[in-house]
Amino acid sequence: MAERPTRRTPRTTRARVVRKRYLSPRMIRVVLGGESLADFPAGAYTDHYVKLLFPAEGVRYPEPFDLAAVRASLPRDQWPVTRTYTVRAWDPAACELTVDFVVHGDEGLAGPWAVRAEPGDEVLFLGPGGGYRPSPEVDWHLLVGDESALPAIAASLEAIPGGAPARAFVEVAGPEEEQELSLPPNVDLRWLHRGTARVGDRLVEAVRALVFPPGEVQAFVHGEAGWVKELRRHLRVERGVPRERLSVSGYWRLGHDEDGWQASKREWNARVEAEQEGASEAPDAGVPAGPRGGAAGH
């Protein structure tokens, strides 16, 4: 049974791998199912995410798993390690939750777990969290991401309301990583091939070169923290996009695992805010960051 969530002990769900397939050489789709998903509360946001729980090295937790008890009885370095993944799709009728994993080599926990995952394997996770969905109140939408944000961008593009125009840029390693997506009319999705360039360079170039359509934009910008910071600056300072129309955050950071990145993320975000909001000529500069106007809170 799912644990009743509280502020201190978020909901823990126990699921099993139902099936898995490669969408492309570097992207694996894992479909999870199981009884405790029955009342899974996804749907409010298109960037819903879960936090997969991996046991700390050498630690076995008593069954049934109880996160509150683990946190109360063990030192922090023995708590489960978390990895954050977008809910690419949630099908309440079939009780199936779809997660797409970037395969980024042998390093790490979650990427290699997805490579090894087999039907029947068990996984525990927290969530969902989330904070963005395309607003019906803007004139157009801009979505920008590397492959880690492709699941959220694809889910968001599928939910663009009222035929509003959307421009999306997704950077992937090469043409073999492009996915067939079924998108509403007025969505213009450009695939950018990284090749040997630094991650995100092509995205920054493409958005800098974009002639913005007239009217108010809502922007969703996620992926590796370095390029996300650069593009946030461009959108806030040079284009004057109001912060409440920006959902922007580093989903991962080159050279850091998720534990290291999460530990420094708050400070990183505060520094970005201080640098860029000081430089912004936009009329709302100085307004305290909301959960989405600054960095998303994951």
Ligand X SMILES: Cc1cc2nc3c(=O)[nH]c(=O)nc-3n(C[C@H](O)[C@H](O)[C@H](O)COP(=O)(O)OP(=O)(O)OC[C@H]3O[C@@H](n4cnc5c(N)ncnc54)[C@H](O)[C@@H]3O)c2cc1C
Answer for which of 55, 111, 184, 226 binds ligand X (CB under 6 A) is 111
Is 201 near ligand X (CB under 6 A)? no
Between the CA of residue 211 and those of 155, 167, 171, 175, what are the distances in Å?
A: 25, 11, 19, 25
CB-nearer residue toward ligand X: 42 or 237 = 42
Residue 76 CB neighbour total at 10 angstroms: 7
Query: Which single residue brings its beta carbon nearest to ligand X?
Result: 108
Answer for which of 31, 95, 102, 173 binds ligand X (CB under 6 A) is 102
CB-nearer residue toward ligand X: 47 or 277 = 47
Outline where DSSP puts E strands in the chain. Answer: 12-24, 27-33, 49-54, 81-86, 89-91, 96-102, 122-129, 140-146, 166-172, 187-193, 217-224, 246-252
Is 138 near ligand X (CB under 6 A)? no
Answer for which of 40, 220, 227, 251 binds ligand X (CB under 6 A) is 251
Answer for which of 16, 71, 104, 193 binds ligand X (CB under 6 A) is 104
Is 107 near ligand X (CB under 6 A)? yes
- How many whole angstroms separate alpha carbon 153 and alpha carbon 160? 11
Is 131 near ligand X (CB under 6 A)? no
CB of 53 closer than 8 Å to CB of 14: no
Answer for which of 13, 98, 148, 247 binds ligand X (CB under 6 A) is 148
Q: Which of residues 8-67 bind ligand X (CB under 6 A)?
A: 49
Find the DSSP H helices in 148-279: 150-157, 201-209, 225-233, 258-279
- Residue 242 neighbours by CB under 8 Å, 6+ apart: 282, 283, 284, 293
Is 252 near ligand X (CB under 6 A)? yes
CB of 28 closer than 8 Å to CB of 112: no
Is 255 near ligand X (CB under 6 A)? yes
Residues in the interface with ligand X (CB under 6 A) total 25
Answer for which of 30, 31, 95, 110 binds ligand X (CB under 6 A) is 110
Residue with tokens 């694809």: 154
Is 194 near ligand X (CB under 6 A)? no
Is 132 near ligand X (CB under 6 A)? no
User: Which segment (102-110, 136-144, 182-190, 235-243) binds ligand X by CB under 6 A?
Assistant: 102-110
CB-nearer residue toward ligand X: 91 or 216 = 91
Is 90 near ligand X (CB under 6 A)? no
Angle between helices 258-279 and 225-233 (to 10 degrees): 10
Residue 150 CB, shortest distance to ligand X, in Å, is 7
- How many whole angstroms separate alpha carbon 259 and alpha carbon 252? 10
- The angle at the Cα of 150, spanning 38 to 222, to the nearest 5 degrees, equals 105
Answer for which of 34, 127, 134, 151 binds ligand X (CB under 6 A) is 151
Angle between helices 201-209 and 225-233 (to 10 degrees): 20
Helix, strand or coil, per DSSP, at residue 248: strand
User: Which segment (153-161, 213-221, 235-243, 245-253) binds ligand X by CB under 6 A?
Assistant: 245-253
- How many whole angstroms separate alpha carbon 224 and alpha carbon 229? 9
Q: Which residues bind ligand X (CB under 6 A)?
A: 49, 83-86, 100-102, 104, 107-111, 148, 151, 251-258, 298
